[in-house]
Chain A
Amino acid sequence: MDGIHDMGGMHGFGKVEPEPNEPVFHADWEARCLALTRAMGATGAWTIDESRASIEALPPEVYLSSSYYRKWALGLEKRVVQHDLAGADELAAGHALRPGTALKRKLTLADVPDSLTRGSFGRTPQAPARFKPGDRVRTKNIHPPTHTRLPRYARGRVGVVEAIRGCHVFPDTVAIGAGENPQWLYTLLFDGRELWGEAADPTLTVSIEAFEPYLEAA
């Protein structure tokens, strides 16, 4: 999706403003929102890719004017309703008005230590890797209206495969419920000038983590 979330290379957002001695959370609700999101993710009702897609699909003006955890909360509300886990009427009432449905798992206190470790997205390959380190490849010029992890600034550009990172769940399909469809993942390195033109910082190189379906031989 060519959304507002795809920010690489945009101008006009101003300076980066680090906050000295920044707290882990700026309010209690942020902490609850993070934990709620993780606990609901652990139920298996949706994938992390679907979660990202739901946040990307927030209206651009909402995305830009909301704090990070507000975006998380809005995305979670949306997924809960879309998956019929709760109704908008219940969220508005602040209480369940009907019984819940059965979910695959429930995160208990005993599960918490393991839940702090990121899941593994490596999967058995469906075919040998098409590219190898050193290969010159071009990213495809794709503009799917659905979730993708190929950023706009790196589409239709020639780079060099630096490393093969294994075979992983493919976000573009799993996010729309079309299966894990495992794909080879590569670190793809671009010269700054390939991405930004002659005015680019001559000392700059940028890499993305690119799934094989994003690439073609150059």
Chain B
Amino acid sequence: MTRDHDHHDDHHEHGSELSEMQLRVRALETVLAEKGYIDPAALDAMIEAYETKIGPHNGARVVAKAWADPAFKRALLEDATKAVRMLGLINRVGDHLIAVENTPKLHNMIVCTLCSCYPWEVLGLPPVWYKSAPYRSRAVNDPRGVLADFGVTLPQDTQIRVWDSTAETRFIVLPMRPPGTEGWSEDRLATLVTRDSMIGTGLPNPPGETA
């Protein structure tokens, strides 16, 4: 025991939190279920939905449709909640969703400096880096440095607009359609749309790099 504690490497740190938290969360769930506040079967179903149904593939469909269908793109930029509801994704979309468009002159990036606000319905649960101190601290004052961490370099004169999600409005970036994709179907376009391109920390894949 003491020897383990003398050797705090990442693996041990992670391992000790893992076992501590397994026990702690199990205790919490057991107590709340025995009190009659929660139904563990409902929890199972919720977890399954987050693991299988809700994810960035939904957002990719939205972006691909906006690329392919100018009327949908207008509707999306006008009222994303309404436009995305019309698409009939598996999960319903909540209120106050806002789509922001990248152009050759303007790059948008989304952050939540205060916690982890993120458009779950179209992008799924946020990745660890989105909720991390480095991203939350730097996105608002050094977005080009953050982009460099993702291997992305933008032209020096591109305007960068950072959206801090400080209320219940949620944002999704509509990235620029990659050149060389003329005539592509929505399904094929959707394969180019990465999660990070819809947060603004990445760009869509170029057409050569997809299966």
Instruction: Classify chain A's interface size.
Output: 35 or more
- Is B46's CB under 8 angstroms from A80's CB? no
- Is B42's CB under 8 angstroms from A112's CB? yes
Expressed in whole angstroms, the minimum distance between the Cβ of A216 and any Cβ of chain B is: 18
Q: How far is the CA of A73 from the CA of B128 in the complex (A)?
A: 16
Chain B neighbourhood of A34, CB < 8 A: 46-47, 50, 125
Interface string of B137-170 (1 = CB under 8 A from A): 1111111101001100000111111111111111
Interface string of A97-121 (1 = CB under 8 A from B): 0011101001111011111111111
Taking a contact as CB atoms closer than 8 A, the residue among B43, B120, B138, B159 that contacts A35 in the complex is B43
Interface segment, B19-27, B174-182, B183-191, B203-211? B19-27
Interface string of B113-138 (1 = CB under 8 A from A): 11110001100110111011111111
Taking a contact as CB atoms closer than 8 A, the residue among A28, A116, A122 that contacts B95 in the complex is A122
Taking a contact as CB atoms closer than 8 A, the residue among B27, B45, B128, B157 that contacts A19 in the complex is B128
Q: How far is the CA of A95 from the CA of B27 in the complex (A)?
A: 7
- Is B46's CB under 8 angstroms from A39's CB? yes
Chain A neighbourhood of B159, CB < 8 A: 203, 205
Q: How many A-B residue pairs have CB under 8 A?
A: 284
- Is B41's CB within 8 Å of the partner chain A? yes
Instruction: Classify chain B's interface size.
Output: 35 or more
Q: A19-B127, A208-B166 are in contact. Are A203 and B157 (CB under 8 A)?
A: yes
Interface string of A3-15 (1 = CB under 8 A from B): 0011111110111
- Is A107's CB under 8 angstroms from B38's CB? yes
- Is A57's CB within 8 Å of the partner chain B? no
Q: A18-B127, A96-B35 are in contact. Are A7 and B25 (CB under 8 A)?
A: no
- Is A135's CB within 8 Å of the partner chain B? no
- Is A206's CB under 8 angstroms from B115's CB? no
